[in-house]
């Protein structure tokens, strides 16, 4: 059993090459396998710090396997789309990049939401701002207003629905 800060680096170093070989057998790319093993270590490191890992070697192999299989699936999908849409046709498909039209639409939506927030009752508006903009928890909002957590939750739901209707 390996817990917080006790030997997880030594375990990783001792098994790194075998883990890399294992990942390479799945993804068929040595450089990608190295990357996957490094990512697996980061996940292992986080897990070992947060809780006890009962079988660290098995844990590492499982993480490497899952990452490698995900990468292989993604590569297969990319190859499929490259074959289906030759000559860069996919570049004409919708992207997530900002365009002047998208920015204008986003600005209009923001103005509508701001208008909707302005028409909310003060307590609901403040609760919404605390939760959505300030990152406050429902408990913090409840404490601020001296209300129950369920009432704070109701205020947030009312505010969100009001803003959704405005959009």
Q: What is the mean pLDDT, run by run of 10 residues, along the chain of 167 residues?
A: 60 92 92 91 79 82 90 83 63 62 82 87 89 83 92 91 84
In angstroms, the CA 143 to CA 78 distance is 50
- Do 26 and 73 fall into the same domain? yes
**End position of a domain, from candidates 34, 56, 90:** 90
Q: Which residue is it, tokens 């490191």?
A: 45
Neighbours of 129 (CB within 10 A): 15
User: DSSP readout, 19-45?
Assistant: HHHHHHHHHS-HHHHHHHHHHHHHHHH
Any domain includes 107? no
27 lies in which domain range? 8-90
Any domain includes 157? yes
Q: How much is the pLDDT for 147? A: 94
pTM here is 0.48
Any domain includes 102? no
Reference 120, options 167, 164, 165, 158; nearest CA is 158
Any domain includes 45? yes
The three-class DSSP label of residue 54 is coil
Q: How much is the pLDDT for 21? A: 95
Any domain includes 49? yes
CB-CB contact of 56 with 47 (8 Å):
no
Any domain includes 103? no
Q: How much is the pLDDT for 2? A: 45
Q: How many independent structural domains does the chain possess? A: 2
């Amino acid at each position: 059993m390996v817990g917080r800060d006790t030997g997880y680096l030594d375990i990783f170093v001792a098994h790194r090459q075998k883990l890399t070989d294992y990942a390479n057998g799945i993804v068929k790319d040595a450089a990608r396998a190295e990357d996957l093993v490094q990512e697996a270590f980061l996940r292992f490191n986080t897990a070992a710090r947060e809780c006890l890992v009962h079988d660290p070697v098995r844990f590492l192999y499982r993480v490497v396997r899952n990452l490698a299989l995900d990468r292989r699936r993604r590569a297969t999908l990319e190859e499929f789309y490259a074959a289906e849409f030759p000559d860069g046709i996919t570049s004409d498909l919708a992207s997530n990049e900002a365009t002047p039209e998208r920015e204008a639409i986003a600005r209009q939506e923001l103005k509508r939401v701001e208008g909707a927030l302005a028409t909310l009752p003060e307590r609901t508006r403040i609760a919404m701002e605390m939760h959505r903009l300030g990152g406050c928890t429902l408990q913090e909002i409840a404490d601020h207003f001296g209300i129950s957590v369920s009432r704070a939750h109701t205020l947030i739901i009312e505010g969100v629905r009001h803003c959704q209707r405005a959009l």
